[in-house]
């Protein structure tokens, strides 16, 4: 199904940009052990998935409703769109469930990229009214118009699941609005340990499991340290591990302008000079060389950042900006 959503993009959409940042809390209560809380959280989440069905409208907005006694609705836990990702943190393997309502057709962000997302966040508090179990799905935050988020600055549950989706396409309209099509849409069920845990925030009690319906409209590759190497390449071999820190100064490579601490900026180490006629000019090797040489440039574009020994192509080579042995 092809959905067309028209959205007015206005300046100032950065309002609320940090609203999902975990260090933005107002109050905290004494921390309980993560494993003890997680045991309770995952029970509540799985019970919710077992006892509710979802309706999805034409714009992929979702409503979760408790299945009435004898109801024939399909519980979320039985939907083929339900997937989960295991996330290791706090010496726990968290299970993060998400509904992949539509994957999207474009690129996927990594957890060090920036994303343009519209979302609705609600809690799922379980309680009892007149002896009947109820689930309060209070909405604590909603952005119908998308806003940009750096995935390295949001709660862990987001950073892990948003990259499981892809962006779509977009086009400009004559009236200045932008239409997005075929973007990724999902719902994620985040245990409190991967959200705000013992922090109390507006509309969110301590130890709240959070549910987000999100639409991944667009993304931007980031280069945090502006050394010309995308953060996704500097992060390390796996986003399921901590980022690499070549020189061990507690600043990961993707935030470090001199990754090997040899006193020469990474940006300088990926530069080279070439002759343009009689004029010496400077250019920069990309992390990976181009597949095809561009005949318009006076150098070989298939070369990426070389190793000390002049290997320009082996994908696993130790690139020279990470090898202080190159300098002397």
CB 80 within 8 A of CB 149: no
Q: Which two tokens stand for residue 20?
A: 């999902």
User: Mapping DSSP to helix (H, G, I), strand (E, B) and coil, where does residue 180 land?
Assistant: strand
Stretch that binds Ca ion, among 20-28, 52-60, 251-259, 279-287 (CB under 5 A): 251-259
Task: Select the residue interacting with Ca ion from 260, 317, 319, 326 (CB under 5 A).
Answer: 260
Per CB under 5 A, the list member of 247, 286, 288, 308 interacting with Ca ion is 247
Task: State the minimum distance, in angstroms, from the CB of residue 309 to Ca ion.
Answer: 17
Per rule CB under 5 A, is residue 258 in the interface with Ca ion?
yes
| Shortest CB 208 distance to Ca ion, Å | 35
CB of 183 to Ca ion, least distance (A): 27
Q: Which residues of 263-297 are buried (b: 16+ CB within 10 A; e: fewer)?
A: eeebbebbeeeeeeeeeeeeeebbeebeeeeeeee
Rounded Cα–Cα distance for residues 282 and 280 (Å) = 7
Question: What residues are paired with 141 via a beta bridge?
Answer: 121
Q: Which of 41, 152, 256, 323 binds Ca ion (CB under 5 A)?
A: 256
Q: Which of 244, 264, 283, 308 binds Ca ion (CB under 5 A)?
A: 264
Is residue 113 part of the contact set for Ca ion (CB under 5 A)?
A: no
Q: Does 160 bind Ca ion (CB under 5 A)?
A: no
Residues paired with residue 220 on neighbouring β-strands, in sequence order: 114
Decide if residue 152 touches Ca ion (CB under 5 A).
Answer: no
Size of the site for Ca ion (CB under 5 A): 17
Site for Ca ion in 204-233 (CB under 5 A): 223, 225, 227, 229
Identity of the residue, 184 or 304, whose beta carbon is nearer to Ca ion in the bound complex: 304
Residue pointed to by tokens 């070369």: 303
Angstrom distance (rounded) from CA 119 to CA 325:
48
Listing DSSP states for 108-164 in one string gives PP-TTSEEEEEEEEEE-EEEEETTEEEEE--EEEEEEEEEEEEGGGS-HHHHHHGGG
Q: How far is the CB of 223 from Ca ion (least distance, A)?
A: 4
Residues that bind Ca ion (CB under 5 A): 223, 225, 227, 229, 234, 245, 247, 249, 251, 253, 256, 258-260, 262, 264, 266
């Amino acid at each position: 199904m092809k959905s067309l959503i028209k959205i007015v993009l206005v300046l100032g959409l950065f309002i609320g940009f940090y609203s999902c940042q975990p260090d933005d809390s107002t109050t905290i209560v004494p921390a309980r052990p993560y494993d003890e809380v997680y045991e309770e959280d995952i029970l509540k989440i799985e019970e919710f998935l077992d006892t509710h069905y979802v309706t999805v409208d034409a714009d992929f907005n979702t409503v979760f409703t408790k299945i009435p006694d004898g109801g024939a609705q399909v519980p979320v836990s039985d939907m083929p769109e339900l997937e989960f990702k295991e996330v290791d943190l706090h010496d726990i393997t968290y299970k993060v469930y998400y509904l992949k309502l539509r994957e999207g057709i474009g690129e996927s962000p990594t957890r060090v990229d920036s994303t343009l997302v519209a979302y609705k966040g609600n809690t799922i508090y379980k309680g009892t009214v007149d002896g009947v179990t109820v689930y309060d799905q209070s909405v604590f935050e909603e952005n119908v118009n998308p806003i940009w988020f750096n995935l390295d600055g949001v709660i862990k549950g987001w950073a892990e699941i948003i990259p499981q989706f892809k962006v779509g396409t977009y086009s400009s309209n004559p009236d200045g609005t932008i239409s997005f099509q075929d973007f990724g849409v999902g719902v994620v069920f985040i245990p409190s340990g991967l959200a705000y845990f013992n922090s109390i925030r507006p509309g969110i009690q301590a130890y709240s499991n959070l549910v987000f319906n999100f639409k991944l409209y667009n993304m931007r590759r980031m280069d945090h340290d502006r050394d010309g190497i995308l953060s996704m390449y500097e992060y390390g071999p796996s986003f399921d591990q901590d980022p690499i820190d070549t020189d061990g100064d507690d600043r990961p490579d993707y935030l470090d302008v001199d990754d090997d601490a040899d006193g020469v900026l990474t940006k300088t180490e990926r530069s080279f000079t070439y002759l343009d006629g009689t004029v010496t000019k400077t250019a920069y090797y990309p992390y990976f060389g181009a597949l095809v040489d561009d005949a318009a440039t006076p150098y070989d574009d298939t070369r990426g950042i070389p190793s000390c020994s002049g290997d320009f192509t082996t994908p696993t080579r130790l690139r020279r900006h990470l090898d202080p042995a190159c300098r002397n």
